[in-house]
Structure 1
Amino acid sequence: MRIRNEDVLLPVSAVSAFPRPHWLQGRILGCGDEPTYRSHNLRVAYEDACKITALEQERAGLHVLCDGAQYYEWEAPGFQLEPIFHFIPENLGGITNYGPPGDGAKYAPFYKGQVISKVEWKRPIFESVNYAMKNATDRPFKIAMLGPAQQSIILDDQYYGDGVALAKDIARALNKELRYLQDLGLEAVQLIDVLPPYTTDMWQIECQQILFEGVDMMKFWHVCYGSVDGQRDIFDDHATEMMPLFRESPVDVVHLEFTNKDFAELDAFGEFPTDKVLGVGVVDAKNTMVESVEQIADRIRRALKVVPADRLLVAPDCGLGYFSRTTAYAKLRHMGQAADEVRRAL
């Protein structure tokens, strides 16, 4: 994989989430017409937390860091849903910060923002995240965000009457965000999507093409099988059906969960597009047991039987935000050591 104009064999990265220090609590960033930070003390604490998560990733030998989503309330039950439902919409024009309950018992506690007018980019969303990470590390890092297709289906559309049109306007708004971040020096972005296992309609890729127009940075796509409260949403295999999406996507890296599914879908990736890097989950993000270096190395070697080392990225299955800091960073360190062991043997 090409990183900062150098070819890196078996690069290592994480998905997005790490547990927060116990002294960082509550919502950090404002939304709508609020100030960027909800208090100066929160800003200082948040930026310190970013320094910790960056340092831990550096120590583990990661090549592309992530921001660890330290602005999310990981310590609160259902944390993943509240920011996923609200963080981006509450900072876009045309969407209210109130609405009806989500669909089904799992999502009912989290309201859907209502789309009441044309969705537009209103203010920088991740500028503070980019600033905090640039001050925390000299290594390349990525900022994660929910993809526009995924975001569109968890909103209450009272304006468009057309889900695809809504998704494309979200993509146009977030394209402005990415161009803004690119001008600030951001080197990588990661989309998070749960939608592809449910539908392989190609309008999702049309949204990605709009999103990434004029955006020249590393593009990661995490296709998530669900991890809310440590539980998976997707139990059956969909890799074969998703392969056309992967072929047409403008991203550089497609990342999926493999370990928790015991590599059940691995053979399907013999058809994985040769112009992309496959991110293979080799650390279980739903099991608190810390895998040994040799266990993880064996998983990497297993993946190498299907995808060559120059097109393989090593990563956890999903975010590690649900774990204690001790467990999360131990998993990360062992993953980095395992990748180094396999790399040296190639």
Structure 2
Amino acid sequence: MEIRGEDVLLPVSAVSAFPRPHWLQGRVFGSEYEPTYRSHNLRVAYEDACKIVAREQERAGLHILCDGAQYYEWEAPGFQLEPIFHYIPEMLGGITNYGPPGDGVKYQPFYKGRVTGKVEWVRPIFEGVVYALQNATDRPFKVAFLGPAQQSVILADEHYGDGVALAKDIARALNKEMRFLQDMGLEAVQLIDVLPPYTTDMWQIECQQILWEGIHMIKFWHVCYGSVDGQRDVFDDHAASMMPLFKESPADVIHLEFTNKNFSELETFRDFPADKVLGVGVVDAKNTMVESPDQIAARIKQALNVVPADRLLVSPDCGLGYFSRTTAFAKLRNMGQAAEIVRKGL
């Protein structure tokens, strides 16, 4: 995989979330018409947390860091999905907050944003994230966000009457954000998606094409099977049905969970598109047991039976935001050591 103009064999990267220090609590950034930061004290605390997250990923040997989602309120048990669902909609024009409850038992505690007008980009969304990480590390890093297709199905549409039209306008709004971040010097972005296991309609790829038009950063697509307090949403194997989406996606790297699913879908990826890098989850993000470097190395070697080393990215299954900091770091550290073991043997 090429990173900053150099080929890196078996690059290592985390997915997105990392546990927050205990002294950083509550919402960091303001919403649509608020100041960027809720307070100067929160800004200092948040930027200090980003330095810790960056340093621990550097120590673990990661090549592309993640933002750690330190602006999310991971410390509120049972409500961790709240900021994931609402952070972006609360920054966009055309969406009024505090609509009806979410669908189903799992999502009823979280309100839906109400789409009451044309969705538009009105202010930077991740400017503070990029600024904080640029001052925390010299390594490339990615900013992760819930994608337009996924956002469209968790909103209460009172304006469009057409879910695809809504998704495409969200994509247009986020494209402006991507261009803004690219101009800031951001080198990678990551789309987070739970939708493809449920539907493989190609309008999702049309949204990606709108989202990433004119974007030259490294583009990751994390297809998530769900990971809230160790609970998965998707138990069946869907990789084969999603493969047409993977082949048409403009993403450079497509990442999925493998370890928690016991690599049941690995053989399907013999049909993975040759122009893309496969991100393989080799650390379980739903189990607090820390795997040894040798255990993780064996998983990497298992993946190498299907995808060559020059098209394989080493990663956890999902984000590590629900773990303790010591457990999350130990998993990343051992993963970095495992990749080095395998790299030396190639």
How would you bin the TM-score normalised by the shorter chain?
over 0.9
Gaps of 5+ in 1: none
Check if 1:103 corresponds to 2:117: no
- Look up the match of 2:34: 34
Cα distance, 1:230 vs structure 2: 1.3
- Look up the match of 2:270: 270
- Look up the match of 2:90: 90
- Look up the match of 1:148: 148
Which amino acid is the alignment partner of residue 209 of structure 2? Q
Alpha carbon RMSD of aligned pairs, Å? Answer: 0.5
Mapping of 1:162-201 within 5 angstroms?
Answer: 162-201=162-201
- Look up the match of 2:295: 295
Q: State whether residues 281 and 315 of structure 2, in contact with CA within 8 Å, keep that contact through their aligned partners in structure 1.
A: yes
Q: Distance in 2 between matches of 1:222 and 1:161?
A: 28
Q: Distance in 2 between matches of 1:26 and 1:121?
A: 25
Cα distance, 1:32 vs structure 2: 1.5
Q: Distance in 2 between matches of 1:285 and 1:159?
A: 38
- Look up the match of 2:212: 212
Which amino acid is the alignment partner of residue 17 of structure 1? A
- Look up the match of 2:65: 65
Cα distance, 1:186 vs structure 2: 0.4
Which amino acid is the alignment partner of residue 165 of structure 1? A
Cα distance, 1:299 vs structure 2: 0.1
Q: Distance in 2 between matches of 1:163 and 1:80?
A: 25
Cα distance, 1:80 vs structure 2: 3.2
Mapping of 1:10-49 within 5 angstroms?
Answer: 10-49=10-49
- Look up the match of 1:326: 326
- Look up the match of 2:336: 336
Q: Distance in 2 between matches of 1:107 and 1:85?
A: 10
Q: Distance in 2 between matches of 1:336 and 1:93?
A: 41
Check if 1:227 corresponds to 2:227: yes
Q: Distance in 2 between matches of 1:256 and 1:88?
A: 23
Q: Distance in 1 between matches of 2:79 and 2:222?
A: 19
Q: Distance in 1 between matches of 2:142 and 2:35?
A: 24
Aligned pairs, number: 346
Q: State whether residues 72 and 79 of structure 1, in contact with CA within 8 Å, keep that contact through their aligned partners in structure 2.
A: no
Q: Deviations over 1:254-281 (max 9, x none)?
A: 0000000000000000000000000000
Q: Distance in 1 between matches of 2:267 and 2:233?
A: 22
Identical pairs, percent: 82
Which amino acid is the alignment partner of residue 108 of structure 1? Q
Q: Deviations over 1:205-250 (max 9, x none)?
A: 0000000000110000000000012100100100000000000000
- Look up the match of 2:135: 135
Aligned residue for 2:191, secondary structure, equals strand
Q: Distance in 2 between matches of 1:274 and 1:148?
A: 26
TM-score (norm. length: structure 1): 0.99
Q: Distance in 1 between matches of 2:147 and 2:175?
A: 11
Aligned residue for 2:313, secondary structure, equals strand
Gaps of 5+ in 2: none
Check if 1:313 corresponds to 2:313: yes
Q: State whether residues 85 and 111 of structure 1, in contact with CA within 8 Å, keep that contact through their aligned partners in structure 2.
A: no
- Look up the match of 1:203: 203
Which amino acid is the alignment partner of residue 135 of structure 2? N
Q: State whether residues 296 and 335 of structure 2, in contact with CA within 8 Å, keep that contact through their aligned partners in structure 1.
A: yes
Which amino acid is the alignment partner of residue 151 of structure 1? Q
Structure 1 segments of 4+ aligned residues over 6 angstroms from their partners: none
Aligned residue for 1:314, secondary structure, equals strand
Aligned residue for 1:44, secondary structure, equals helix
Bigger shift: 197-206 or 73-82? Answer: 73-82
Which amino acid is the alignment partner of residue 284 of structure 2? D
- Look up the match of 1:4: 4
Cα distance, 1:79 vs structure 2: 4.0
- Look up the match of 2:258: 258
Q: Distance in 1 between matches of 2:342 and 2:294?
A: 10
Cα distance, 1:98 vs structure 2: 1.3
Q: Distance in 1 between matches of 2:235 and 2:343?
A: 32
Aligned residue for 1:230, secondary structure, equals coil
TM-score (norm. length: structure 2): 0.99
Which amino acid is the alignment partner of residue 113 of structure 1? G
- Look up the match of 2:77: 77
Q: State whether residues 189 and 218 of structure 2, in contact with CA within 8 Å, keep that contact through their aligned partners in structure 1.
A: yes
Aligned residue for 2:207, secondary structure, equals helix
Which amino acid is the alignment partner of residue 127 of structure 1? E
Q: Deviations over 1:153-200 (max 9, x none)?
A: 000000000000000000000000000000000000000000000000
- Look up the match of 2:285: 285
Aligned residue for 1:95, secondary structure, equals strand
Q: State whether residues 101 and 109 of structure 2, in contact with CA within 8 Å, keep that contact through their aligned partners in structure 1.
A: yes
Aligned residue for 1:229, secondary structure, equals coil
Which amino acid is the alignment partner of residue 226 of structure 1? G
Q: State whether residues 12 and 62 of structure 1, in contact with CA within 8 Å, keep that contact through their aligned partners in structure 2.
A: yes
Q: Distance in 2 between matches of 1:315 and 1:105?
A: 31
